[in-house]
Amino acid sequence: MTVKHRPILAPPVAYTKGFLRFAFGGGIVMNQQQKEKIIKMRQDGFSYSRISTALDISENTVKSFCRRNNLGSSNKEFFFQRDGILCRQCRTPLIQTPGVKQKRFCSDKCRMAWWNDHPEAVNRKAIYTFTCPICGRDFESYGNKKRKYCSRACYGRSKAVRHE
C-alpha cells in the first residue's frame, strides 16, 4: 500500500503582510517612529483603540507594546489618588479606580493582618442561639441554623447506646 503525499508549496514570490507575520513568528515589526508616537500618545492619555486607529496598527499590537514598556497605567483618566484614603494597616496612600469599589488595603498581606488584629469589626449577621438537648447549656452558632449540640462531647453522648 502506497501513501500519497501532498506536494509542498513554495513560498510566494511577492512577500505579503501575512507572509511577513509568518516569517517573523506571528508579529508585526514596528519602526522606531511608531514606537515613539505610541509612547507620546499614551502619555497624553490616548486609549489603545485611538492610538491603533491613528497609526493604522492592530490594537493588540499597541496593547502588547504598552504592557512591555510599562505604559498600561499611565492613562490619567483611569487611575487617581484621593486625598486622605490610606491603607488601614500600613497607612500607605491608595490609588483608586473610578467605577470600582474603593480599596481599603494596599495588599492581601495588609488586609489579613488588619482583620486578624480587629476581629470585633467583623459584621456577623448569622448568629443563632440554641439550647443543647444533652447538657441544657445555651450556646451560639455562627452560620449554622440547624446545629443541635454545643460540643462534640454532647453529640457523642447523644449517639451512645443506653442500657436500661
Residue 39: half-sphere exposure toward Cβ, Cα within 13 Å = 10
pLDDT of residue 107: 92
Note the pLDDT of residue 76: 46
pLDDT of res. 152: 94
Specify the pLDDT at position 74: 45
Spatial distance between the Cα atoms of 155 and 158, rounded to a whole number of angstroms:
5
The pLDDT score that the predictor gives to residue 9 is: 57
Q: Which residues of the chain have pLDDT under 50?
A: 22, 74-79
pLDDT digits (tens, 9 = 90+) for 58-83: 888 888 888 888 877 544 444 455 55
Domain boundaries of the chain, sorted by first residue: 17-68, 80-121, 127-159
Residue 42: its pLDDT value, please? 84
